[in-house]
């Protein structure tokens, strides 16, 4: 890793919470695709598999921001541990229900319970913000975390799909639950780097979502999430149609690898000018990159197309974190980050569900129309909301770029 990334870990405790965050975020890429693989293995019903994955994502979208809001008020340790125990109990119920062929409604109830899983990415980024707010290192830290996210998406699907196809169907989701337990309890044991809580009376009872700029980000990422959810489901189905279902994990890993590569490079660059312009460009490139998927005819071509498509993901996500800093009060930073994840989760739910039904109805290749349409919607929403992004709320947060320039003038 280049030296600017190594410099991040000069702060005491940073290595520990970053490592815990990596472990705890592995289920982000493993659980949904693991459930799709498990249910398709056990029942052959991609519609059911996509609907269960969508239920997990929708439940997380509803519960996640409330958990993060409580974290901002009471601290990570007090909130994350009980929330994780609920998610683990629900995951165990889902695996048992699938294994013993219990009624479908039991599967959906358990899938909804998994939605109480905390947003570990937001928790880790909040710790970085507490360490480096107002310095150039915060941009690098956000870039690093985007790379970590993509590393999870590189290895997570490979592990989850590989175990479920080569060992037993429930193996992938089972290991995902194990990663969640270890990651959360390891992270919350590290009290020294935990951000200071902000009780309700310090910033009023309002939600971070009252910010107009944050609303634009969340709405756009609903459509963006639909891209991700649809690509996951359709790729597994397409690989099965090609007679190589296990290869889906490798193809999806290349999708994440493209994003990871771009994220490493993006973190080393210093930008001037408005971040919202880079954000809109990133959304546009994500949409355009979905078009070649409509022409896929074999797995090698799909792998190349997805790698190229991934190049626009991490830079867009990194810029999004800078915009959240600008549009959300600092006392509600964790909640603000989680709302963006909520938008993604809702999109993943819609995309995976729609893609599952399209695959069942007309085949996998046609399923890639779902992410193409989702990309077009994301571009439309992003352009329509651009003016709100260009007008940050006075006194709220502050972009990494602006804070960095302030620090440099102060040092000089």
Taking residues 213-238, report their average pLDDT: 89
Secondary element (H or E) of residue 380: helix 369-384
Flag whether 98 is in a domain. yes
pLDDT, tens digit, for every residue of 256-267? 888 888 888 887
Flag whether 202 is in a domain. no
Residue whose C-alpha is closest to residue 363's, from 371, 373, 355: 355
* pLDDT in the model for residue 391: 65
pLDDT band per the 50, 70, 90 thresholds, residue 206: low
Flag whether 393 is in a domain. yes
What sign for the dihedral angle of Cα 262, 263, 269, 273? positive
pLDDT, tens digit, for every residue of 111-148? 999 988 888 888 998 899 888 887 888 888 888 888 88
CATH number of the structural domain spanning residue 398: 1.20.1250.20
Flag whether 9 is in a domain. no
The Cα–Cα gap between 212 and 152 comes to 31
Domain count of the fold of the chain: 1
Question: Which residues, in sequence order, are CB contacts of 297 under 8 Å at separation 6+?
Answer: none
Secondary element (H or E) of residue 175: helix 171-188
Flag whether 349 is in a domain. yes
Flag whether 361 is in a domain. yes
* pLDDT in the model for residue 175: 93
Taking residues 181-195, report their average pLDDT: 92
Of 381 and 272, the one with more pLDDT: 381
Range of the domain at 122: 14-195+207-411
pLDDT, tens digit, for every residue of 298-314? 889 999 999 999 999 98
Question: Would you list the DSSP string of 67-121?
Answer: HHHHHHHH-HHHHHHHHHHHHHHHHHHHHHHHHTT--HHHHHHHHHHHTT---HH
pTM value is: 0.75
Query: Any idea what the Cα angle at residue 328 is, between residues 326 and 330, rounded to 5°?
Result: 95
Look at residue 159 and tell me whether its pLDDT is greater than 60: yes
Residue whose C-alpha is closest to residue 172's, from 109, 229, 249, 58: 249
**35-39, 118-122, 163-167, 200-204: segment of lowest average pLDDT:** 200-204
Question: Which residues, in sequence order, are CB contacts of 54 under 8 Å at separation 6+?
Answer: 229, 348, 349, 350, 352, 353
pLDDT band per the 50, 70, 90 thresholds, residue 359: confident
* pLDDT in the model for residue 2: 57
**12-21, 142-151, 387-396: segment of lowest average pLDDT:** 387-396
């Amino acid at each position: 890793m280049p030296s600017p990334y190594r410099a991040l870990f000069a702060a005491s405790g940073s290595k520990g919470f970053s490592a815990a965050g990596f472990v705890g975020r592995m289920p982000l890429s493993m659980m949904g695709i693991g459930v799709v693989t498990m249910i398709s293995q056990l029942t052959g019903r991609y519609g059911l598999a996509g609907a269960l994955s969508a239920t997990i994502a929708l439940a997380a979208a509803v519960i996640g921001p409330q958990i993060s809001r409580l974290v901002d008020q009471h601290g990570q340790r007090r909130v994350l541990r009980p929330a994780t125990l609920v998610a683990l109990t629900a995951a165990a119920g889902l695996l048992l229900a699938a294994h013993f062929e219990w009624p479908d409604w039991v599967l959906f109830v358990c899938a909804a319970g998994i939605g109480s899983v905390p947003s570990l990415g937001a928790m880790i980024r909040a710790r970085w913000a507490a360490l480096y707010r107002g310095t150039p290192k915060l941009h690098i830290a956000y870039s690093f975390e985007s790379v970590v996210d993509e590393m999870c998406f590189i290895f997570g699907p490979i592990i989850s799909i590989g175990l479920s196809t080569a060992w037993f169907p429930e193996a992938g989701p089972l290991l995902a639950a194990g990663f969640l337990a270890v990651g959360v309890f390891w992270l919350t044991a590290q009290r020294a780097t935990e951000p200071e809580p902000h009780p309700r009376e310090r910033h009023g009872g309002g939600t971070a979502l009252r910010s107009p700029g944050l609303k634009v980000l969340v709405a756009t990422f609903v459509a963006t999430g639909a891209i991700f959810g649809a690509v996951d489901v359709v790729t597994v189905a397409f690989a099965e149609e090609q007679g190589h279902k296990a290869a889906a994990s490798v193809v999806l890993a290349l999708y994440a690898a493209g994003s990871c590569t771009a994220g490493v490079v993006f973190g080393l660059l210093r930008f001037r000018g408005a971040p919202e312009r880079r954000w809109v460009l990133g959304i546009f490139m994500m949409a355009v990159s979905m078009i070649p998927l409509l022409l896929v005819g074999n797995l090698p071509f799909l792998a190349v197309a997805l790698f190229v498509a991934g190049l626009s993901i991490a830079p867009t996500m990194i810029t999004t974190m800078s915009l959240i800093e600008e549009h959300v009060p600092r006392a509600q930073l964790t909640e603000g980050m989680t709302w963006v994840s909520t938008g993604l989760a809702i999109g993943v739910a819609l995309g995976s569900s729609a893609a599952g039904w399209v695959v069942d109805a007309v085949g996998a290749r046609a399923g890639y129309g779902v992410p193409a349409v989702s990309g077009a919607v994301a571009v439309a929403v992003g352009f329509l909301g651009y003016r709100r992004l260009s007008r940050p709320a006075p006194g709220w947060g502050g972009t990494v770029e602006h804070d960095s320039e302030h620090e440099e003038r102060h040092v000089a």
